[in-house]
Structure 1
């Protein structure tokens, strides 16, 4: 448990005048026994911060950092929203995963504006990364940590068997647009001997959908599932590909999906930078060199993944917390975190660092993966505007609806169900 100084008013009154000053409302309530300011940092999964915390404490002897680390993003954010509702219990610095960012933005009044309390760090990040954490009235509630720029991964051996080009440069034209991607899928399916083109419909649909200017809501937070033709256009394109046999129909993160990498159940994968590690772990050593990644993604760039560091207004040491968050997300520290845990940087200077640009991946044929994904990150045009329930609709409405199509449900009926469920979620 993190140490706290919990002293009653009567106990404070009995103390010396020097001690009492620390008991008032303006005192440093989060202090250790030796008088250091304690800053709590709540994260999940692996941010690569353990050594950075020690480094910061060494250069700031008045600071003690206590980490609260959840194993997965879901329980971390459940805890976050519970404590936001309760009005107490949050850490000084709270990490937010981009999939939950729209919900946090709807509660932005409970977070500090880092432009006001933090150091001057303008223009550090890729613009789209900062824009996503900026409120309509211009408040910045999160410093960007990592990102997940998208490229395309594919099985070279399966491409060759189907008569498609397999060299990373030669396949770029196949992945130039979504039309060319699905057309290549038709060619592949005709000669693949039963191997699917992609893993599942939801993964493709999400990538397509997230490239649009707005998500399931417009910028006035009105649901636009029915009125935005781009959403139905993406649906039609993906479900048409499903009908042609392009989907392996494997639910993401299921045991069957994991096994699919090893058995060669599908030939292509929408591939954020962190997906290389997933593929290597699931496909295994016996498939080393069979998977490749190319510097291309249909219709330009895209992003899947990444987080932010926020400072809730509950923090008793908000300015010092903002200083720590700014330091952790500085270019130098982003490179150190990348070396430690592979978290891909969002800082402009970090994306130009030789340590990143020269990084190679032996499993994927020695490709300069750092340089490849740095180039892909710069192709992202803008941050998509997402309404409060955007993430819930993606995960709990459209993903299940697309799975139902893969399981045989009529496409139009599945669309009607998705629209109805989205309307319920938006209420």
Structure 2
């Protein structure tokens, strides 16, 4: 599940000295009379030093941040407090995996075009802004990071299979999904006991997000059973499972983590943030064995990224919007990237020398900043996400694919996935 590394801020309780932004009444103030802005973030946004910088430039503002290590509780808290009508922070982070649920409740958030400072229309990549804009043109959030996709692979295992192993040489293997799975057939025939990829769901989700139309059409009609491209992807991935290309490891499980260290699979769909996961799980003993190339089947895609939003519950909405706008300016996003590796979605940031010159020693000193900036620019549009889209992907389709890896027939699992999606969409 993509949200496991995420953290959360919930609003502080009211004390005798402090009126919180969660309660009723006027603007929230700290004990020393400053306007207090609360911000709910998840994962590592890289904002800690930026908060200090903003407070120094705005001595009338005090910023309060809290976070934990999980994203699911954050979003559960967000939607629960939306229903309760109170308790939210002045700024709430929303991860793209929950965007469909958020957009279905967009009426409870401020239109940042209306309350925020004037911002150039092309600050962000067009598809990033498109995904957070309502059908009637309201901007419900400012883009933070993104997760452009590339392909990671084990050079030593490729060499053992007689496949090219340098980042330029492997590109031909990753031009299309047909080429990718054909290379997988070659690999498993030459390297017994090692799979081509880690998990069916990890590959399928990347394929699915490249489709022009996903589980819903733009009228919010569920189309999982009538969209032939979805079923085609399902058939392709489950056929690869049947051939033995999958390591059958549930993503982010202990077994999946160990799989990196023990070399249980040769390739990994790699959004920019995944490099840190690979390094952490594979460990220092595998430094230099993993490589990454600026190629991805059928062109590219995105996995991950977030937005800053301002709920209508906020008592400091205008000042909150000013802070959110500042945090998502290209200059600040470069600083956040340098602090925590959050890959920026701002057009100017993608051309900044500080980003383009960044290298990754674990992956052979690859110029990772340039590589992922190139991948980000290949993404042309964001797939429309309907009301239960994230739920269908995470709790219906991914488990159905895992059931195929555990022995269930693809046809039975597909039927269960369709039925599960229909229930989730009600």
TM-score computed with the length of structure 1 as normaliser: 0.94
Deviation at 1:6, TM superposition (A): 6.8
Equivalence map 1:219-258=2 (5 Å): 219-258=218-257
Q: Quick check: 1:172 aligned with 2:171?
A: yes
Partner of 2:54: 56
Aligned equivalents of 1:186 and 1:396: distance in 2? Answer: 29
> Structure 2 stretches of 5 or more lacking a match?
1-10, 18-23
Q: Deviations over 1:99-157 (max 9, x none)?
A: 11110000000000001111122210001111110111111101000111000000000
Q: Quick check: 1:88 aligned with 2:86?
A: yes
Partner of 1:155: 154
- Structure 1 counterpart of 2:75, from 69, 77, 89: 77
Deviation at 1:2, TM superposition (A): 4.1
User: What SS does the aligned partner of 2:33 have?
Assistant: coil
Aligned equivalents of 1:150 and 1:108: distance in 2? Answer: 28
Q: Quick check: 1:420 aligned with 2:419?
A: yes
User: What SS does the aligned partner of 1:304 have?
Assistant: strand
User: What SS does the aligned partner of 1:44 have?
Assistant: coil
User: What SS does the aligned partner of 2:292 have?
Assistant: strand
Query: Is the CA contact (8 Å cut-off) linking 1:3 and 1:32 kept in structure 2?
Result: no
Aligned equivalents of 1:120 and 1:172: distance in 2? Answer: 42
User: What SS does the aligned partner of 1:308 have?
Assistant: strand
Equivalence map 1:356-375=2 (5 Å): 356-375=355-374
Aligned equivalents of 1:373 and 1:29: distance in 2? Answer: 41
Equivalence map 1:23-422=2 (5 Å): 28-121=26-119, 122-422=121-421
Aligned equivalents of 1:283 and 1:35: distance in 2? Answer: 50
Q: Deviations over 1:189-228 (max 9, x none)?
A: 1101221000010000000000112221110111001110
Aligned equivalents of 1:38 and 1:136: distance in 2? Answer: 33
Which shows bigger deviation, 67-76 or 367-376?
A: 67-76
Aligned equivalents of 2:143 and 2:153: distance in 1? Answer: 29
Deviation at 1:68, TM superposition (A): 2.6
User: What SS does the aligned partner of 1:226 have?
Assistant: coil
Query: Is the CA contact (8 Å cut-off) linking 1:118 and 1:319 kept in structure 2?
Result: yes
Deviation at 1:5, TM superposition (A): 7.5
Q: Deviations over 1:54-99 (max 9, x none)?
A: 1000000111111132321111111101100000110000000111
How many matched pairs? 409
User: What SS does the aligned partner of 2:362 have?
Assistant: helix
Aligned equivalents of 1:52 and 1:74: distance in 2? Answer: 25
Aligned equivalents of 2:387 and 2:352: distance in 1? Answer: 36
TM-score computed with the length of structure 2 as normaliser: 0.94
> Structure 1 stretches of 5 or more lacking a match?
8-24
Aligned equivalents of 1:214 and 1:91: distance in 2? Answer: 34
Aligned equivalents of 1:2 and 1:286: distance in 2? Answer: 43
Deviation at 1:45, TM superposition (A): 1.9
Which of structure 1's runs of 4+ aligned residues deviate more than 6 A? none
User: What SS does the aligned partner of 1:154 have?
Assistant: strand
Backbone CA RMSD of aligned residues: 1.3
Aligned equivalents of 2:14 and 2:81: distance in 1? Answer: 18
Aligned equivalents of 2:26 and 2:85: distance in 1? Answer: 19
Deviation at 1:29, TM superposition (A): 2.9
User: What SS does the aligned partner of 1:79 have?
Assistant: helix
Aligned equivalents of 1:346 and 1:68: distance in 2? Answer: 24
Q: Which has the larger radius of gyration?
A: 1
Deviation at 1:34, TM superposition (A): 2.1
